[in-house]
Amino acid sequence: MRSDAAIAMGDVLSLTIPFFGLIFLGFVFGRIVRRPASGLEWLNIFILYLALPALFFQLIGETPFAELSNVGFILAVLASTLTIFAIAFAIAMIRSRFDVERATIQALIGAYSNNGYLGPGLAISAIGTSATVPVALIFAFENIAFFTITPILMALGGRQTESAGEMAWLILKRIFTHPFILAVIAGALAAAFEWRPPEALDRLLTMLRGAAAPCALFAMGVTVALQPPPTRKSVGDISIFLLIKLIAHPVMAYLLVSMVSVDPVWLTTAVLMAAIPPATNCFVIATQYGRFVDGASNAILVGTAVSAITVTGILYAIRSGVL
């Protein structure tokens, strides 16, 4: 007979192999077909503006409103993420000889999870639809935090030219025009007023929702494939921040979120979301400011590959009862 450990590992591999398999297929086809990055634009528009917002809206709208106002959970998640960001930023400042702009990008690599593209698919596959609400809350509030922190730090580093008022307007615009955040707000309003969409609209949302995870994972694989291959020097430069992201971040999430009274599913989701690799937004932000672009690109490539091992380990700890 198979031991409990072997059964738990079998269950985990049955979840992670299809999940990372889709990323791998995207990577392989991205390498073989060799189309420019512009070829992903319409797929990304579909994912960003339709499929994932439909997923968030539909599942949040079906959730009792009281579950959406778990302030303790939100504060614990933010505390864990911002603590990791502060640690990574302090290390980056020392390593870069107090280059604030470079340190900001490196700290984002250490703390900013890819919880838009990878988060929903992984959490729902591993935990179930009950993970959707904590995933949506984590995404919304962490992005609000990073949308606010990044331009402020870049301004302190001398790269930002906007006034304080222009910067505040830019931050609010990024927050309240992001389709995922708008979908979370709309879903919360639907839950508060117990509104359900008409049957035809609900079926359309269900179709969009079903396409969200496969399309997002495949697009993620192609995006990783289009990144330039890492060099030995660049891997050495980002290894410490990937260690913080893939190991220290989930440990910090477990320690802080477990201190508040939350459903075990929410705790598990918080740990899993902290364990996923750096967000592609790290590369976007690095490109926008022209700092540490190659390092951010390599961090996404290497981090996504290594996370196949680290995420599997964390899921095994969850399934085997360690977490």
Q: Where are the domains of the chain?
A: 4-319
Supply the CATH classification number for the domain 4-319.
1.20.1530.20
Q: Please state at what angle helix 52-61 crosses helix 119-126, rounded to 10 degrees.
A: 50
Q: Could you tell me the two tokens for 185?
A: 């707000």
Report how far residue 24's alpha carbon sits from residue 224's, in angstroms, rounded to the nearest whole number: 9
The segment with the largest mean pLDDT, out of 56-60, 161-165, 177-181, 274-278, is: 274-278
| Segments in the chain forming alpha helices (H) | 4-33, 41-46, 52-61, 71-95, 100-111, 119-126, 132-156, 164-176, 179-192, 199-225, 232-243, 249-257, 264-275, 281-289, 293-319
Report how far residue 106's alpha carbon sits from residue 93's, in angstroms, rounded to the nearest whole number: 9
Question: What is the C-alpha radius of gyration for the chain, rounded to an integer number of angstroms?
Answer: 19
- pLDDT tens digits for range 294-303: 888 889 889 9
Q: Decide if 263 contacts 133 (C-beta within 8 A).
A: no
Confidence of residue 233 (pLDDT cuts 50, 70, 90): low
| pTM for this entry | 0.87
Q: Decide if 117 contacts 280 (C-beta within 8 A).
A: yes
DSSP assignment string, 155-221: HHTT---S-HHHHHHHHHHHHHT-HHHHHHHHHHHHHHTT----HHHHHHHHHHHHHHHHHHHHHHH
When pLDDT is averaged across residues 198-227 and rounded to a whole number, the result is 89
When pLDDT is averaged across residues 181-192 and rounded to a whole number, the result is 90
Q: Is the predicted pLDDT of residue 7 greater than 70, yes or no?
A: no
Q: Is the predicted pLDDT of residue 1 greater than 60, yes or no?
A: no
Report how far residue 258's alpha carbon sits from residue 253's, in angstroms, rounded to the nearest whole number: 8
What average pLDDT does the chain have?
A: 87
